[in-house]
Structures are given as structure tokens and as C-alpha cells.
Amino acid sequence: MHQIGAELDADTIERVRHSMASQGLMTHLGATLADIRAGLVTLRLPFRPELTQHHGFFHAGSTAAIADTAGGYAGMTLFAADKSVLTVEFKLNLISPGRGDWLEATGRVIKPGRTLTICQLDVWGVTSTARTHVATGMQTLISVAPPA
């Protein structure tokens, strides 16, 4: 198995980029892939009023969407090339208000597996001067055959 954080071959990176591009929600929110490593994927989501809750901060739904996606792709980097990924469940603690010029979400595989893979999810709110831990969570993924 790959060591978590190791560099990946071009095919795997392309597979993740291609899947990400097919996610309507990620485009709609404005999220982009910032880093793709073995079992470790980072997404970035610039602030827009379209992403906010009732206090003007990033909505927990925005935070959750990129955390879930980062974790899903972190898992997918360790799957066989003919497998796709689905989220079984995730849990997120919102530990600070979602403030920042952008959010950065990291999914990190804690326990890879043939059927189930477990990821840690972390989201930071980033400005030019500060980096705040906004959310932390866990996620269970399942490796599946892609739908026909």
C-alpha cells in the first residue's frame, strides 16, 4: 500500500480530477482540488456570499460538502482503478465559526480497507494572517463498482 501523503502516479491524479470535474455541486460552490496525495486530499473553497449561513459565515453545509468530498477522494486514491467511492456516513464537529477568505478541507485516510475505508476530516478557515480550525470529523467510505 501507498504511504499516506506519498506522491501519486499521473493516472490516479487524473482519475480524481476527472471525478471532481463531474461533481456539479463542487463547481456550483466553487471548490477546487488543491492537493492530491495517497490517502490525503485537500480542497479549497473561496468565500462567497452564496456559501453563507444566517450570520454571514460559511454555512456548515458548505463546510460539510468539501470535507466529505476531500475524504471521498482521499479514499479513492487508494482504491483499485475500476472502483468508485460512496460515503457511508460522516460526522462533523463545527468547532469555530466558518470565517476566512477561503476554507481548506483535508481528508486523510486513517484506516484503508478492501470494503470500508475510514478518514479523518479537517477544515480550516484561512486568511492572509490566520488559519483557524473550523471543523473536524470522521468519515466511513465504501468501495463500490461504478453504476452502469
Distance CA 21, CA 69 (A): 12
Binding part of the chain for a second copy, among 6-14, 34-42, 55-63, 123-131 by CB under 8 A, reads 55-63
When asked if residue 142 is in the footprint of a second copy (CB under 8 A), the reply is yes
Among 101, 83, 116, 86, which Cα is nearest to 30's? Answer: 101
When asked if residue 11 is in the footprint of a second copy (CB under 8 A), the reply is no
Using CB atoms within 10 Å of the CB of residue 46, give its burial: 0 to 12 exposed, 13 to 18 middle, 19+ buried.
middle
When asked if residue 13 is in the footprint of a second copy (CB under 8 A), the reply is no
Do residues 60 and 92 touch, judged by C-beta distance below 8 A? yes
- List the grid coordinates of 26: 463542487
Binding part of the chain for a second copy, among 3-11, 32-40, 50-58, 123-131 by CB under 8 A, reads 50-58
Name the site residues for a second copy (rule: CB under 8 A).
19-20, 22-29, 48-55, 59-62, 64-66, 68-69, 84, 86-97, 110-111, 115-116, 118, 120, 133, 136-138, 140, 142, 146-147
